[in-house]
Amino acid sequence: MSPTPISTFVPPPNPSTEGTPEWFYNEIMRFIEPDLLTTVIPTHAEKYANQSKPDCVARMTSYEHAFMVFEKAAADVAQEYRVGMEKVRDAAKDDLGAAERRIDESGK
């Protein structure tokens, strides 16, 4: 059985969560499986109320795959942020050192 097709409609991010772990989860998951957004999951009971058992099993299998893809994507994003923050930190240290040297050189 093929995976559940990804919906073409992706709800806009919730601005009240911007920058939070929930926001990052949704930003990643919206490209993997929009049906697993935190704003969409509460609609599942109604949306899938009449779904057959085999279709439900297939959907859950598809979701398991989506969560595995999410884990890899989230780890990649976290690593990119870690490396980026280290570069910013190193640049800040360099700038601070340069500023200190200018103060020392000016004799003040």
Residues of the chain with pLDDT under 50: 1
Place of tokens 């939070």: 20
Rounded to an integer, what distance in angstroms lies between the CA atom of residue 96 and that of residue 52? 63
pLDDT of 99 reads: 81
pLDDT of 9 reads: 57
Rg from Cα positions in the chain: 22
Which amino acid, one-letter code, is at 103? I
Tell me the whole-structure pTM to 2 decimals: 0.70
Q: Read off the tokens for 90.
A: 């190193």
Q: How many CB atoms within 10 Å of residue 35?
A: 19
